[in-house]
Amino acid sequence: MSQSIERAIEVLVLLGEGPQTPAEVARRLDVHRSTALRIMEVLQGQRLLRKLADGRYGVGPGIVSLAHRAQDQFNLAQLAHPHLVALSELRDQTVHLAELQHDAIVYIDKIEPKRSIRLTSRIGQAACLHTASVAKCILASLPEDARQALFEHYVFEKHTPTSLLSYEALERELRTVRERGWATDDGEREDYVTSIGAPIRDVTGQVVAALSVIELKAIHDLGSMQQLMLEPLLETANAISRDLGWNS
Q: What is the tens place of the pLDDT at every residue in 144-187?
A: 999 999 999 999 999 999 999 999 999 999 999 999 999 999 99
Rg of the chain in Å (alpha carbons): 23
Which class in CATH covers the domain with range 75-243? alpha beta
Highest-confidence segment of 11-20, 118-127, 133-142: 133-142
Q: Which residues make Cβ contacts (< 8 Å) with residue 92, sequence separation at least 6?
A: 113, 114, 115
Q: Which residues make Cβ contacts (< 8 Å) with residue 16, sequence separation at least 6?
A: 59
Domain 2-69 matches domain 75-243 at the CATH topology level: no
Q: What is the tens place of the pLDDT at every residue in 29-48?
A: 999 999 999 999 999 999 99
Type of residue at 121: S
pLDDT at 65: 77
Is the alpha carbon torsion for 100, 102, 104, 110 positive or negative?
Answer: negative
Q: What is the tens place of the pLDDT at every residue in 87-114?
A: 999 999 999 999 999 889 999 999 999 8
Where do the domains of the chain lie? 2-69, 75-243
In angstroms, the Cα distances linking 33 to 30, 55, 85, 134, 201 are: 9, 14, 48, 50, 37
Q: What is the average pLDDT across 186-202?
A: 96
We find that the CATH architecture of domain 2-69 is: Orthogonal Bundle (1.10)
